[in-house]
Amino acid sequence: MTDIDLAETAYPVQMQLEAYNARDIESFMQWWAADCAYYAFPDTQLAHGADEIRARHVERFKEPNLFGKLLYRSVIGNVVVDHETVRRTFPEGTGEVDVICIYEIADGKIAKAWFKVGTPRLDQAQR
C-alpha cells in the first residue's frame, strides 16, 4: 500500500476521533456504517447498528473532560489500530484509561470496531 492508501484508510478513524474529542455526535456518526458492529475485545458485542452506537455516545459526550489522545496508529490493509489514552469521568471520579482500538474500514466508513480497555487511573486528588 502507498502512503496515500494508508492515509485514505485511516481517514474515517481520524475524523471520528476528532468528532469524539469535540463531542459532536453528528460529525462522529457520519463515519460509522449504518450496520456497523461495536465490540469489547475480543467478541462481546456492545452495539449493533448506528442507532445503538449513537445512543452509547450521546451519554459519553456529556462528560466535560472527555478526550482521546492518539499515541500510535498502524494501518494494515483495511484495518486501523490506534493506541489511545482517554480522559474520562468514571463513576469513581476523573482519570484516564489506555485503549487499543481496532477498526475495520469498508467503503470509507467504520464497519466494525473492537476496543480493549485497560484499568482506569484516577486523578491523584481522588485517591
Q: How confident is the model at residue 20 (pLDDT cuts 50, 70, 90)?
A: very high
Number of domain units in the chain: 1
pLDDT at 93 over 70: yes
Q: Which domain holds residue 79?
A: 3-126
CA distance 16 to 26: 10
Cell output for 13: 478513524
pLDDT digits (tens, 9 = 90+) for 35-62: 999 999 999 999 999 999 999 999 999 9
Q: How confident is the model at residue 124 (pLDDT cuts 50, 70, 90)?
A: confident
Counting residues of the chain whose pLDDT is more than 90, the rounded percentage is 91
Place of cell 469498508: 106
Q: What is the CATH number of the domain that holds 18?
A: 3.10.450.50
DSSP designation for 71: E
Query: How high is the pLDDT of residue 1?
Result: 61
Q: What is the pTM of this model?
A: 0.93
Terminal CA-to-CA distance of the chain, rounded, Å?
A: 47
Contacts of 127 (CB under 8 A, 6+ apart): none
Q: How confident is the model at residue 109 (pLDDT cuts 50, 70, 90)?
A: very high
